[in-house]
Amino acid sequence: MLGPILVVASCVIVFGLGSAHLALTFFSNRFEPRDAEVAAKLRVVSPIISRDMTMHQAATGFHISHSMGPMLLGLIYGYLAICHFDFLLQSTFLMTLGSLTLAVYLVTAKIYWFKVPLRGIALALVLYLLGLGIALS
């Protein structure tokens, strides 16, 4: 019983981080540059790939899709842990995919992000691996 609980706890953290990122994208200025001139420039300059958007639009779209990945991971693996935990344990592919996804998020957080997501992802990865380890032993 402890195994699925730990996996669900991991999923809650990951879903929470994604949800918080999405909320900050729409309801705060936390992802805006501190320099007002840079912020103004990002609203008019387009990237090389397309003149149909500005860098600000591209960044907002990135933040939305960046939020959806962890939310989807948390929902799918949370659902599996609650409703189909035996199926998850029988699938080496799904267990490995979850582990690798969290590990890649952890490395990305270490290199590119700040301490809150780094700590959250680290805890989520530990809980996920502990949950699977306990359930498999």
Instruction: List the one residue out of 115, 135, 117 whose CA is nearest residue 5.
Output: 135
User: Is pTM, for the whole model, over 0.75?
Assistant: yes
Q: How far apart are CA 64 and CA 66, in angstroms?
A: 5
Per-residue pLDDT of the chain (137 residues), as tens digits, is 999 999 999 999 999 999 999 999 999 999 999 999 999 999 999 999 999 999 999 999 999 999 999 999 999 999 999 999 999 999 999 999 999 999 999 999 999 988 999 999 999 999 999 999 999 99
How many CB atoms lie under 10 A from the CB of residue 95? 20
Residue at token pair 């591209």: 58
By three-state DSSP, how is residue 104 classified?
A: helix
